[in-house]
A and B are shown apart, each in its own frame.
Chain A
């Protein structure tokens, strides 16, 4: 996998990617974040997206596929 230099951290609970200065996850309200994540799923239309259904995502946004 390529070396990642994107300015995001991932919520450990819901895997949403947020900018590093955010303290509370806007999706689930969690405060647990991780910088060690891999893969990205950008959900634009969660109702029609099969990826969103497979990952149980209901809100649009950028999600990591794997968070450590």
Chain B
């Protein structure tokens, strides 16, 4: 059963994925369309993923809904989308000396270097690169994005 193509992508206006998915849910329930699930993931902008065994119902599900731009040809299997649905936590992937970007909070958009990792609390200590003096801050690992490994930071720091 695993590996069967049963995920189809519906293209929507960017920013309307949630609304479209809720409208499609209503239609699937009202018209008893055989859809197992719908998903909107943060890694795919303007895409709603539809899980069904019958490919042609995706057209019936999405036809005429506002902000739907069409159905993408072809399908995916569970291996293709599992990394979007259940991504590995950042705290497991981050290493000391990684170049990271802060994605939330007062330091949003700033880049820095990881100096310490606390796996039990899920926090990392980051030294802000843009600061004039060493400025280590402790933040939750959810709020950082890894943008470079140690080797890459040495060569590509001049950006």
Contacts and interface: CB of A to CB of B under 8 A. Distances in A.
Chain A interface, DSSP helix/strand/loop, else mixed: mixed
Interface size class of B (residues with CB under 8 A): 20 to 34
Chain B interface, DSSP helix/strand/loop, else mixed: mixed
A24 interface: no
Contacts of A3: 15
Nearest to A36: B104
Interface stretch (B31-39, B128-136, B146-154): B31-39
Given A40-B18, A41-B37, A44-B38, A54 B85 contact: yes
A51 interface: yes
Interface of B: 2, 6, 14-19, 21-22, 25, 28-29, 35-42, 45, 51, 53, 78, 81-82, 85-86, 140, 142
Given A44-B28, A48-B36, 11 more contacts: A2-B18, A39-B39, A39-B41, A39-B42, A40-B40, A44-B36, A51-B81, A52-B37, A55-B85, A65-B42, A65-B86
